[in-house]
Amino acid sequence: MIASGPGPGAVMHLGMIAGGGVLPVEVARSVTARGGTVHVVMIEGEADDALRNFPHTILNWAELGHAVRAIKRAGMRDMVMLGRMSRPSFLTAKPDFGFLFSLPRILKALRSGGDDAVLRGVVGLFESRKLRVLGVHDVAPELLLSDGAIGFHHPEAVHQADIARGFELIAALGHFDIGQAVVVAGDRVEAIEAAEGTDKMLARVRDLRIAQGADPARMRYGVLMKRAKPGQDKRLDLPAIGPDTAQGAIAAGLAGIAGASGEVLAASRFEILERADRAQIFIAGVPAPPAPPAPPDVVAIEPIVFGGYSIPPECARDIEMGVRIMSTLEEFGTGTALVIASGRVLSIGAREPSAQVLERARLFLKRKKSNGVLFIGPNEALDEPLIRQAAACGIQGIVVMFGPGDGAAHKGPVLDVADRFRLFIAGAAADPKAAAF
């Protein structure tokens, strides 16, 4: 059950679990400036040192019991979870009894795949200990974008179609727990955020444009859009923009940034505006249309196996999810490749070659165990270098998507190479009925 906020004008006494970035600092300052108090549990190796200026406790991410006790000992019963957090690694854990007691629930959340599932699991752990988990919109609503531009520059008519297209795509992909940001230019999807985050996605747009001969310092076109995923619990991981986002958009040659009103956080707003106004790009809150409901799972996903290795049962869920995502991308006229492992989308390509999308996923794949499925679009080539790269990354198999009228067949030397590396090769149709809207 989602907790309701404290109500307008209420004085807050707030516990905070603080990861990285400036957002926890800004929320702490906002609460105390209005007469409230905070006690910050700073996650070791993540939280900003500026939080030491507030009452605080420094703990390892796995010291769950100590975190609960620190907040309650400070007299708090309300709390927020804020800031960037690396996906937890048990190699860095310093577990206490509270963590070990909750380990079955923690493992279940981690195995759920997507980041949203992990965060919901963590919230449930704190709520089970009689703490009320709130969101930034409850405790510091002034940090959210509202309707309209926040600087000197405003989106023009030419940008409106790109903004609408971007919001529509995020809403469609959000049902798969994919990232909350896309770049669209001239109704053309240039990039989609996955596990790498917004800043690296923007760097990718910059590099791609330079490689194509554009000069981002002189040509400004296209918009970065951010909005919450459909049905997202607003207490958790709201999309955010900050100075680095503005700088990344400037470096990529974008015309501006549009965030869904009431859904996107703007941290360090003065610094954001200083950078945006100097570069003459817009930063605006825009009302986002309601997201469509998730479609019923009525389309059976039955890939065709081409090589000598069958699809492992543990890949069935990833394959169904990947085919639905690729079918959705096909509806938007984009989608070169996709990598999924254990229900989590690691990388997704809008325009870049399959090999680049696969290389981007390498950082998130397990080193000592084969895992993950690579999907390639109808116009991408399945060749020996790609198969060798997939094997080196620990991928279990490749699914080739077929468009209308394509022949669903792969044979000859390319399958011999896949068999040698024990990769399955399969094909599936990009079916509009399997898309997410």
CATH architecture label of 144-286: 3-Layer(aba) Sandwich (3.40)
CATH tag, 304-434: 3.40.140.80
- Per-residue pLDDT of 75-93, as tens digits, reads 999 999 988 876 666 667 7
Domain with CATH 3.40.140.80 in the chain: 144-286, 304-434
Provide the 3-class DSSP secondary structure of residue 345: strand
Phi and psi (nearest 5°) for 154? -125, 150
Domain with CATH 3.40.50.20 in the chain: 13-140
Please name the amino acid found at residue 97: F
CATH tag, 13-140: 3.40.50.20
4 pLDDT above the threshold of 70: no
pLDDT band at 1 (very low <50, low <70, confident <90, very high): very low
51 pLDDT above the threshold of 50: yes
pLDDT band at 437 (very low <50, low <70, confident <90, very high): very low
Phi and psi (nearest 5°) for 27? -65, -45
pTM for this prediction:
0.86
Among 411, 420, 6, 346, which Cα is nearest to 192's?
346
Distance CA 112, CA 106 (A): 10
- Per-residue pLDDT of 128-180, as tens digits, reads 889 999 999 899 999 999 999 999 999 999 999 999 999 999 999 988 888 78
Query: Can you spell out the DSSP letters for 228-296?
Result: PPTT--TTS---EE-HHHHHHHHHTT-SEEEEETTT-EE-SHHHHHHHHHHHT-EEEEEPPPPPPPPPP
pLDDT band at 255 (very low <50, low <70, confident <90, very high): very high
- Per-residue pLDDT of 266-324, as tens digits, reads 989 999 999 999 999 999 999 988 776 666 655 567 788 998 899 999 999 999 999 99
Please tell me which residue, 391 or 113, carries the higher pLDDT value. 391
